[in-house]
Amino acid sequence: MEWPGSRVVCASLADQSGSSLAIALGANLPSPAGDPLATLLAVRPQLERRVQDLGGPGHWSPLFRTAPLGGPAGQPDYLNAVLLLRPARPAGHEAARDLLKRLQHLEQAFARQRHERWGPRSLDLDLLWWGDLVCDGAVLQLPHPCWQQRSFVVAPLAAIAADFRPPGAAVTTIELLNQLLAGASEPPPERLPGRPGWPE
């Protein structure tokens, strides 16, 4: 499987995995902005403002609709996306912790509640990696320990960077996605068409 347009970003990231940064977005409950789609549309410009000081170009994935993975039964489907950056600012533990705080503050602004692991949420923002930086703390772990097992993260990545091999990954994103889909019991992520505020 390959998503249209994915080669363009790969060209800009080729052989530069050490300088990339990725943030995953997800929502399946209403927030003060509205339904999950309205939430992600509202979050996008706010997140861009919060990372603009890192410098470098940013690439947004398309939106995907995905089935819940784990957690309580009966959850609604999620909307997911990924923001992939090539920051000019060097990676560091202090900078990564600062970025995590920014993401958590943004989650709180959209009424994120942390009652249950893998439970439904109005907004979830995960820092997946920042170059080759390794963190193994109680609050921040980099690379994110589970992202390579989550098709709702890998599918958006593959949509914009199919041939990119992220830090810590043994294969490219499209190869990883194909592996996940081959062994999956849940429906594959569904790519949504572009719309105002979120072009493809």
Among 65, 89, 97, 126, the one annotated catalytic:
126
Given the residues 86, 102, 124, 150, the one annotated as active site: 124
Let me know the angle formed at the C-alpha of 152 by 71 and 159, rounded to the nearest 5 degrees.
Answer: 175
d(CA 156, CA 200): 11
Task: Say whether 53 is catalytic.
Answer: no
Give me the catalytic one of 86, 102, 121, 165: 121
- Annotated catalytic residue 86: no
**In contact, 126 and 43? CB cutoff 8 Å:** no
Contacts 24+ apart (CB under 8 A), 194-200: 194/62, 197/41, 197/44, 198/40, 198/41, 198/44, 198/60, 198/62, 198/63, 198/81, 200/5, 200/62
List all residues 6 or more positions away from 49 whose beta carbon is below 8 Å from its beta carbon: none
CB of 31 closer than 8 Å to CB of 122: yes
* Catalytic residue flag (residue 102): no
Pick the catalytic residue from 112, 132, 163, 191.
112
Other CB atoms within 10 Å distance of the CB of residue 32: 11
* Three-point CA angle 76, 150, 118, nearest 5°: 45
Residue 121 is a catalytic residue: yes
Task: Identify the residue whose tokens are 């958006």.
Answer: 156
Query: Annotated catalytic sites, by residue?
Result: 112, 121, 124, 126
